[in-house]
Structure 1
C-alpha cells in the first residue's frame, strides 16, 4: 500500500497527556539538577533561574509568570492546541520543579556532572514535548513567528537571546559557573539538533 494513501495517525488524548507528563518530569528533573549546582541555561528557564538566584523567589513561580505573555504568541504562531499544550507543559514543569526539591535533596553535585545530566535529561524532555506538539514557551515561540513572517532563522533569534542572557549572567555569577552552564546549554541543543526530526515521526 502506498504510504501516501495511508490514513494519517494521531495520538489519542491519553497518549498526549501521558507523553506531556513524562516529558515534563524529565525536563523538571534536569532543571532541578542544574539548580542544585547553581548553574543556569538559556531561554525563559535561564531567565527564571537568574531571577530566582538574585531574589530568592521560587523558580517554579518565576518560570510560570515569565511565560504568561508568550501564550498569546503561541496561539498566533501555532494555534489553540499548541497554546494549550504549551501552557500545560510550563505549568507542570513549574509545579514539578518545586515539588521535587524536598523529595530529592542534593547537598552537593559536581558542576560539570550537573551540566551534562541537565543537557541530556532536559533535552530528552524537550524532545518529548515537541513530539506531542508542546513546548516550554518563551523565546522559541517568538523565534518561530519571526521565521514565519520575516524569514529570520529561529535559531539565530534563540542564539541572540541566549548570548544576551549569558552576558547578564557574567555580571551575577562566577565565571566558572557561567562556563559550565554554557556547556549544559550546548549539550541540550545538540540532543535536540541530533534527534528532533519531524519526518521520522509517524504519529502526530
Structure 2
C-alpha cells in the first residue's frame, strides 16, 4: 500500500486552485521582474539562467526578454522528464511573464537616484520573495535548477553544487564584460536572493501544491 493511500485525506496537501495559482504566479513574476529592472538600471547581473541571459544581453546588446526566453527552452524537456507536465507548463508561463514584464516595466519606472547598495539589497529581497511565491505555486523561472536535479539523478552529484558551479562560471565570465565593482555588487545581490530563499523555503512550513 502506498503512503498516499494510507494518508488520511484531511492531512494531504491541498492543491492550489486555478485562481490561487494565477495570483501567485502574477505576484511572484511581478516582484522578480521589478527586481530585474533595478538590477539592469544599475548595470548588474545575477545568478542562474537570468544571470546568463543578462550577461548575454549586455555583451550582444540583445533584449533580455528574448535571451531569457531562448536560454530556457532546452530545459523544458528536462523538466518534463524530471518533474512533470504541470510544473513545465507553470514554469513556461512564469518565464513568459517575466520576459514580458521586463519589457513593460522599465518605461513605467524612472530613478533619479538609486544607491547601488540599496538597489542591490532591494533587488535581493524583491526577487527572493518573488521566487518564493513562484516556487510555492509549483513553478520556477526555469533553467539551471532543472538541469541540476537531472544531473543529480544521473550521477549522484549534488544539485546544489551544480547550481553553485554554474553561478561561479557566470560571475567569472562577467569579469570580461562588466567592471570589477559591478561584478562584486552582483554577487552581493545573488547572495541576498539565496539567503531569502534558504531561510524561508521549507516544505514543512507550506504544504499546498
**Short-chain TM bin:** over 0.9
**Which among 26, 31, 35 is matched to residue 31 of structure 2?**
26
Partner of 1:68: 73
Partner of 2:169: 164
Partner of 2:87: 82
| 1:38 equivalenced with 2:37 (yes/no) | no
**Cα RMSD for the two superposed structures:** 1.2
* Unaligned ranges ≥5, structure 1: none
Between the aligned partners of 1:54 and 1:119, the Cα distance in structure 2 is 23
**Which among 183, 188, 195 is matched to residue 190 of structure 1?**
195
Is this contact kept in 2: 1:36–1:108, CA < 8 A? no
TM-score, scaled relative to structure 1: 0.95
Change (3 A) 1:203 1:71: same
Residues 113-152 of structure 1 correspond to what in structure 2 (within 5 A)?
113-152=118-157
Partner of 1:111: 116
TM-score, scaled relative to structure 2: 0.92
Between the aligned partners of 1:203 and 1:163, the Cα distance in structure 2 is 33
Is this contact kept in 2: 1:64–1:91, CA < 8 A? yes
Between the aligned partners of 2:98 and 2:153, the Cα distance in structure 1 is 28
How far apart are residue 14 of structure 1 and its match? 1.1
Between the aligned partners of 1:96 and 1:187, the Cα distance in structure 2 is 22
Other structure's SS at 1:171 match: coil
**Which among 175, 196, 202 is matched to residue 180 of structure 2?**
175
Between the aligned partners of 1:202 and 1:44, the Cα distance in structure 2 is 27
How far apart are residue 202 of structure 1 and its match? 2.7
* Cα deviation 1:102-127 (Å, max 9, x = unaligned): 11123542221121111110110110
* Cα deviation 1:23-64 (Å, max 9, x = unaligned): 000110011101110000111111111111122211111111
Between the aligned partners of 1:113 and 1:50, the Cα distance in structure 2 is 22
Partner of 2:3: none
Other structure's SS at 1:172 match: coil
**Count of matched residue positions in the alignment of Structure 1 and Structure 2:** 201
Of 7-16 and 151-160, deviating more is: 7-16
The structure 1 segments of at least 4 consecutive aligned residues displaced by more than 4 Å after TM superposition are none
How far apart are residue 176 of structure 1 and its match? 0.5
